[in-house]
Amino acid sequence: MKNVTFITTGQPTTNPRLVKEAEILHKLGYSVKVIYCFYQQWAQKADKTLTEKYPGMYIYCGGDPVVKKASYFKTRIRQKLSTLLFKYTRNFGIPENAISRSHIEALAIAKKIKTDLYIAHNLGALPAAVLAAKRNGAKVGYDAEDMHSGQFTSTHDESYRLNKYIEEKYFSRVDYFTAASLLIAQYYKHEYGYLSPVVINNVFPKTTLNIVQNYKANEPLKLFWFSQTIGPERGLEDIIKAMAATKGNVQLHLLGNCSENNRLALLNLGDELKLNADQLQFHEPIAADEIFSFASRFDIGMATETGVPLNRDICLTNKIFTYVQCGLAMIASDTQAQKLFMEQYPATGKLYQKHNLQSLTDSISFYIENPDVLYQTRLQNYQLGQTTLNWETESRVFLNLVQNL
């Protein structure tokens, strides 16, 4: 039996890529452990369901603000102090504790696990994986769901310098490197020539759904957008403005954790533009495996990335693949990554020019005026998800990497 240990600075519910990889290895008979820590309160309930499904697999560390307050606040203080000290020194584990609140706790647990391979599932988890692997003579894998040094608009930002430092120090010590989009892989290869990134798309296991023609005469066209957090600078304001500019009955359904301030900001914008009260609807976060049946009730998935900072321009989020696998048509902004995807799969929906309100309005209006095309697009997307863009296909890439090590 082979042993694999995953490390993340998030929670299982907030990291579906990790969960998919852990589950498939477990099903194939690997001994799997996952070291994780508190990240979002809303994810706690779904985490409990998942961890109870796999007793002993998931190991929690670093405390939380509700049950294990002392540990949580101790790690928060340590991270804040380390972040301040990073301006003056790179010694004493300061960078590692600045980029991960639970670095010390995760490392201590990881060192005690006899494993063949550590897999870090974000930049903050990488130092613990590398250091534990050095201690135990194991291999290291790294998954770049984002380009972390590309998440900032200025290279003078202290957080950029921290992320860049961790990349430069630890990337050369990994045995395999995966990326969530072709452009993330290419940009990282350009920055660090010694890397050989392998692309693993953000697809999901096949789901059996009954795709019906939701949009009919006198029914609203239902747009859908989801993320862990509903907030500004994600293109939502543009959707609302485009809805007001169309002549049809359009609803926008938003799924995710939303602060009261962000909710009011979007509702107030809708009021200013004379939208009806039912045209903006908010939904609380749900477990990842429930999203597909939930999303299939809608018509069009919105992928409205603004392209700023660089990471948002080159990432290919799980929204894209969720929409396809749920049988939704798609309207996507022309970020570098989404444009590349739509060029490869042009029948999946409409590409609009970001920050061009008329372009977005025209895309929505097209489907209002062509319900039959909308339905056929939905059917074709669902079939694409069943045949090509799914985890059953994509997981072979991941398994080859692990088995080769």
On the question of pLDDT at 217 being above 80, the answer is no
What are the beta bridge partners of residue 119? 6, 141
Task: List, for residues 325-359, the tens digit of each pLDDT value.
Answer: 999 999 999 999 999 999 999 999 999 999 899 99
pLDDT digits (tens, 9 = 90+) for 24-35: 999 999 999 999
> pLDDT tens digit string along 119-128?
999 999 999 9
**Structure tokens of 270?**
């809708």
pLDDT in tens, 227-249: 999 999 999 999 999 999 998 89
Confidence of residue 1 (pLDDT cuts 50, 70, 90): low
How many degrees, rounded to 5, is the angle at CA 319 between CA 270 and CA 121?
125
Does residue 19 carry a pLDDT above 70? Answer: yes
pLDDT for position 57: 98
Top-confidence residue, 286 or 301 = 301
Decide the pairing of beta strands 117-120 and 3-7.
parallel
Confidence band of 288 (pLDDT split at 50, 70, 90): confident
pLDDT at 331: 98
**Secondary structure of residue 252 in the 3-state scheme:** strand
State how far the alpha carbon of 140 is from the alpha carbons of 4, 7, 93, 143, in Å: 10, 11, 20, 10
Does residue 22 register a pLDDT over 70? yes
Residue with tokens 């929505």: 364
Span 259-283, pLDDT tens digits: 999 999 999 999 999 999 999 999 9
